[in-house]
Every structure is written in C-alpha cells, then in structure tokens.
Amino acid sequence: MTSATIKLFLPHGDPKRLRTAEISNWNGKAVAAPRTDLDALLQRDEARKPGVYLLIGKDEATSRTKVYVGEAEAIGSRLKQHRSREFWVHVIFFVSQHDNLTKAHIRHLEGRLVEEVQSAGRATLENVVSSGSLLPESDRADMDVFLSRIRQLLPILNSDILTPVLGVEPEKDSEGLLFCESKGLRASGRRTAEGFAVLAGSQAALEPRRSAGTQHPWVLGLRKRLLDEGVLQPNAGHLPFTRDHEFASPSAAAAVIQGGGANGPVAWKNQHGTTLKELDAAQE
C-alpha cells in the first residue's frame, strides 16, 4: 500500500458529525456522516455527483456490522430513497472532484466493493447481488487506484469493513505465527492491530468443557454465534474455522478453541514452543 497524506475537514468541528476526506494527488473525495446529519449532507455539492456509497449499521439479530453497497449518478437523490431502510446509522460515499466518473465506472466500483466486503468478512451485506460493469483495461487500472484510496480512507472514517483480518500479505511473516494445541487439535493465529486472529483451517474442540456453562458462559455464547455465522462448522471430531476470524484477545481465541476458559498468553506458542507471555516479556 502506498503512503498517503490525508486531509480531513470537519464542517461542524465535531469528529462524529459530517466530515470530508481527501488524499494528496488523488481526484476523489470521501464524505461521511451519521444519519442524523443526512439533511445537511444532502445540501452539499458532492451529493449531486455520481459515485458509490456505503450505508452502515448493525444487524439486529447478531449485532454484527451490516452494510449496503450502492451506486448512483446523483448520490443525494439515491440516499433520500434509503430513508426507509431502518438498519443504517452512518453513510460514507466517494465521488470524483473532477466529475470524471461515468455510470460504467461507478457500477464497476460497486461490484468490486461488494466483492471486497464479502472477502474481508467483517460485515454482513444487505445487498448481495451487484450490477457490476465491464471496463476497458485502462479504465480498470484507474478504478483499481480509486479503490485503493477507498481502502485507505475507510478506517480513517471509522469503518474497517474492507480491512483484511490479517492485514496485508501476512503469509510472508511466518515467524509471527502462533499455535494453540489441545487434545490433538491445532489452531494457528497471530496478533493483529485490533486483537488476535485465528487462521482458516484451525481446529476447535467439538464440545465445550462441562465447566464452561457455569464458569465461562460467554464462551458458549461466542461459540454459538460463530457456528451461526458459519465461521465454525461441525466436522468429524472437531470444529474447523472456515475463514480467518479476529477475536478481542488471545484468551478469547483460545477459549473458543478449547471450549472453556483459557489463559491466552500461555496457551499460544510460537514454532519453537515459546509462549506469547514469554515473547512479550522478552520485549520489555
């Protein structure tokens, strides 16, 4: 990922309200706002431009992030139509400052954004089917650059829906891998900027410990949620992770894997058998 100088502007002086974001030497612009600022957002010039937008909220049943990805030749007009969608509480949209995004461009971006939301696995899509659009090779290259800037700006605007759980190219850092073993089962993972990620293919205990229900009921709830979401799937003798999944801490990850309370800094070890606790102590 290339370096970037980002300019944020807060029209109301409040970082939680309407804000804009630009990147040096990029002709795009991002506008973000809570739903409560929608009327003010619709009055802005950017809302009259073509672009792509993200409606972001929570799934009522699972409390998981939910997102609707869309495109429009006039962002504001389309957002007015989405007032009837109850789930969203925040909107982020991206336009070109030089008005050089065509209908084909924004349809292409919409399709790519849908794919990347699905790939990142951090949010549930409200609209799974995307129109997409075929573009000439040179235009696709331009849209790849546009999309890379969207990836950079979203975390700045308080959304990680496109951020890979393991960051960029983690496989090149094999020394950073940690392992949790229990009763013949093995899981691998690594620390991340937001917590601890368990890698796809890792194995969790098929049944929780008897003591989990009384001593660590939250582990049962978390395992059920991961089963409901398809992160864990029953298999012969264990529960494999179907995709990378990020936990709040190494202990939370180890608890799900072992089926009960766990001391993560001790349960996770590197390929040489050194515990995470020992690795942290060595850095002090």
For the chain, what percent of residues have pLDDT higher than 70? 95
* Full 3-state SS string of the chain: CCCCCEEEECCCCCCCCCEEEEECCCCEEEEEEEHHHHHHHHCCHHHHCCEEEEEEEECCCCCCEEEEEEEECCHHHHHHHHHHCCCEEEEEEEEECCCCCCHHHHHHHHHHHHHHHHHHCCCEECCCCCCCCCCCHHHHHHHHHHHHHHHHHHHHCCCCCCCCCCCCCHHHCHHHCEEEEECCEEEEEEECCCCEEECCCCEEECCCCCCHHHHCHHHHHHHHHHHHCCCECCECCEEEECCCEEECCHHHHHHHHHCCCCCHHHHCECCCCCEHHHHHHHCC
Kindly state whether residues 46 and 130 are assigned to the same domain. yes
State yes or no: pLDDT of 229 exceeds 70: yes
Kindly state whether residues 260 and 144 are assigned to the same domain. no
Q: How far is CA 4 from CA 22, 151, 156, 207, 214, in A?
A: 10, 12, 12, 47, 50
Residue 162 included in any domain: no
- What is the reported pLDDT for 172? 47
State yes or no: pLDDT of 187 exceeds 70: yes
pLDDT digits (tens, 9 = 90+) for 57-84: 998 877 789 999 999 999 999 999 999 9
For the chain, what percent of residues have pLDDT higher than 90? 76
pLDDT band at 182 (very low <50, low <70, confident <90, very high): confident
Residue 112 included in any domain: yes
Kindly state whether residues 180 and 142 are assigned to the same domain. no
As a whole number, mean pLDDT of residues 200-220 equals 93
Kindly state whether residues 20 and 136 are assigned to the same domain. yes
State yes or no: pLDDT of 37 exceeds 90: yes
Kindly state whether residues 120 and 176 are assigned to the same domain. no
Higher pLDDT, 282 or 55: 55
- Of 156, 180, 196, which closes a domain? 156
State yes or no: pLDDT of 250 exceeds 80: yes
Kindly state whether residues 26 and 56 are assigned to the same domain. yes
- What is the reported pLDDT for 104? 94
pLDDT band at 128 (very low <50, low <70, confident <90, very high): confident
Kindly state whether residues 96 and 205 are assigned to the same domain. no
- What is the reported pLDDT for 129? 67
pLDDT band at 130 (very low <50, low <70, confident <90, very high): low
pLDDT band at 174 (very low <50, low <70, confident <90, very high): low
State yes or no: pLDDT of 29 exceeds 70: yes
Q: Give the pair of three-digit tokens for residue 124.
A: 């549930």
- What is the reported pLDDT for 127? 84
Rounded to whole angstroms, how far apart are CA atoms 221 and 228?
11
Domain of 139, in residue numbers? 6-156
Number of domain units in the chain: 2
Residue 163 included in any domain: no
Cα dihedral 248, 251, 256, 259 in deg (nearest 10): -160
Higher pLDDT, 162 or 213: 162
- What is the reported pLDDT for 282? 87
The whole-chain average pLDDT of the chain stands at 91
